[in-house]
Structure 1
Amino acid sequence: MEAMATDREEAALALLWSSVHAPDGRTPHCRRCAADRSFHRVSRRRAYACDSCGAHVYPASTTPFAGSPVPLAAWLDAVVLVLDSPGKARPNRIAGALGVDYRRAWRMTRRIDDVLQAGGDDADLLRRLAGRWREQGSTGPGLTPDPGSPEDRIRVAACRLMAQHGIEATRIADIAREAGVSNASIHYYFRSKDEALLAAFRWAGDQLHLTLQRLLDENVSAIGQLRHLLELSIPGDQGTFEEYLLWLEMWARVRRHPAFLDECVRMSRRWADAVMGVFAAGVADGTFTPVAPLTEVCERYVAIAESLAVRNTLGYSDMSAETARGLLARFTAEQLGVPAGLLPSR
């Protein structure tokens, strides 16, 4: 089974490479060499390297799968399921078919739906990839459905609806319908909408933390880990955006509900610890030379990242996600003493 999974993952990576970087059999172009070059597969990384200069290219980095720890083969299976069953491929079906938990299936379904509904090049790419994935016969076998526990589904549904509509406009009946449970089930697990909001906030924070940990566990350099951190610090995909919307809902209730304050402090501390881990690793291997004590640089990063994320989430016209990431990348480069060109400017 492990060998089969590895083969499928290699096939998925090769498909992304040929579709994005070598369409129609064309020779891939190396940006560093500014010329067409041959490339070879890099072991233990989802990357290819130029035979001439050694520059690494990550095929998934310019696709809707960028920044996700989910195997590429699972992503392609999910795209096929969504396209084959428009309007019917809900998270519980994705979870059962791919053998992933409901939380992850929910995030995958939302990302695919958002891309397809937006149209454009990304949507066209997903359709091409799905067609070629089917033709190759690489789609995975169906597995026994596992829709997740009712409590789990309620948390996910509450997260999505409260982020989209706000807690005041979200009814218990809405959460029940989205989760596929009865109203009585909601009241069994949560005594009020505020309790459901707190549970949804904890769930969303856990997902962000787990995503960061999976990315940091990858065998990449200190600069690579810093890039992952920058990506997650500003809302990007729909799932991350909704998690930040929940932060705003939480902050609006902190003054009246001490439990919310305790949870906000706990989540902020856990995020700061993760940031400190990335910074400390870079200092230890000599990549980073901070301009101030590391704890202070960490606090500065958290403060400016939260400010930029809030302005972006609220929809400030001058603070798109690209603008916010560029500002944060330049600030971080200054604080850690690394060349700004090593970090993404958008």
Structure 2
Amino acid sequence: MTTPGPETDSPRSRVRACIEGSGLPQREFAKRIGLDETKLSKALKGTRRFSPEELIRVAQVAGVTVNWLLSGADDTSGPAATPTAKSLPTRHREGQEQAKKRREIIEASWWLIAEKGYNSVRIADIAAACGTSSASIHYYFATKREIFEETLRYSVKLAFDRQVASLHTIAHPLARLKHLVALQFPTGNTGRAEWSIWLQTWSEVATGGASKENHTQGYRRWYQTVFDLIVVGQQEGVFVDVPADYLATELTSLVDGFGIKVLTGMASTATMRHHIERFIDRSIAVDSQSSESQAAIPEEAPHEP
């Protein structure tokens, strides 16, 4: 992952640096992030703000993190735990064009592996999806296994971007915790693809086919985010006085289990939401009756395409 341009003092100037670094006309960049060019121009001039969803799409196209767009650095002291450098897409010393091509390969591979499964996807399939040759894919990645490891890092980045973009806007700890969980629901094509990559990684780690270290680093970031939010809620007196690691382990395990059930057709996202919200209200919130109305979360997961 390559950070384009100098680190300046505002999100809009960093977005402008991303556009310049992409080599794309502003109109084409706006198209790639799914934003009307007029709205992009207004945001760059400061007459409107970038929404969380827009920042996520800019980060995706430019290959940076949302946190870099907001603060000029990948590290954050906010409500989303910072991934280790090793759990984010690998940085390489290369030009913008090479970095862009590498990202295109990872993103195409991410979708293919999520939809068809790692063992069914060939390098030739990835090359076809990228409109290039197998030799070109091997120029950037020596093996398919190396590509697979990068797809997990890409998933970690997607989750981190979603959390940084929106968690800071929510003040109440219970609402923030429910929102965090909602961000992880396997909803829509993107959400299901992300879960598919994780599920395949768990399977590969269990059989020795994937890097346990890569998986552990990525998962620890998710667990740490949940843990940190629970600690904040306990400090503010709205979460029960139970060891935070117990609560974080129970909640993340419940999310994992229901995510697998949704992905395999054994449960719906609505069922997952219902049971997880009940667990949070029953086992983590001090006063579920008064806090329930304050901590409502949207009916659809925020990363629904």
Could you state the TM-score of these two structures normalised by the residue count of structure 1? 0.57
Deviation at 1:196, TM superposition (A): 1.2
Cα distance in 2 for residues equivalent to 1:101 and 1:244? 18
Task: Trace 1:291-306 onto structure 2 (pairs within 5 A).
Answer: 292-306=242-256
**RMSD, aligned α-carbons:** 3.0
Question: Does 1 or 2 have the higher relative contact order (CA < 8 Å, sep 6+)?
Answer: 2
Which residue, 235, 240, 247 being the options, matches 2:191?
Answer: 240
Shift of 1:344: 4.4
Q: Distance in 1 between matches of 2:271 and 2:206?
A: 31
Q: 1:239 to 1:104 in 2, by over 3 A?
A: farther
Larger Rg: 1
Deviation, structure 1 residue 221: 2.2
Q: Residue 264 of structure 1: CA displacement?
A: 1.8
Equivalent runs, 1:247-262 vs 2, <5 Å: 247-257=198-208, 259-262=210-213
Is the contact between residue 53 and residue 165 of structure 2 (CA under 8 Å) also seen in structure 1? no
Shift of 1:209: 2.0
Match of 1:153 in 2: 104
Structure 1 CA distance for aligned equivalents of residues 48 and 207 of structure 2: 51
Q: Which ranges in structure 2 are unaligned for 5 or more consecutive residues?
A: 1-11, 14-40, 65-95, 300-305
2:60 corresponds to 1:7: no
Is 2:67 aligned against 1:69? no
How far 1:185 moved relative to its partner? Answer: 2.0
* Alpha-carbon contact 2:159-2:184 (below 8 Å) kept: no
Partner residue in 2 for 1:124 = none
Residues 289-316 of structure 1, C-alpha deviations (whole Å, 9 max, x = no match): 24x2111111111111100111111111
Residues 1:196 and 2:147 aligned together? yes
Q: Which amino acid letter does the alignment assign opposite residue 296 of structure 1?
A: Y
> Which of 192, 217, 224 is matched with 1:266 structurally?
217
C-alpha displacement at 1:177, in angstroms?
2.4
CA distance in 1, matches of 2:49, 2:200: 39
Does 2:281 align with 1:330? no
Looking at structure 2, the residues matched to 150 and 180 of structure 1 have their Cα atoms a distance apart, in angstroms, of 11
Contact 1:198 1:260 in 2 (8 A): yes
1:52-75: CA deviation from partner (whole Å, max 9, x where unpaired): xxxxxxxxxxxxxxxx8224xx89
Normalised by the length of structure 2, the TM-score is: 0.64
Kept in 2, the 8 Å contact 1:156–1:179? The answer is no
Where structure 1 has 5 or more consecutive residues not aligned to the other structure, the ranges are 11-67, 76-94, 106-144
Partner of 1:283 in structure 2?
234
Q: Cα offset for 1:152?
A: 0.9
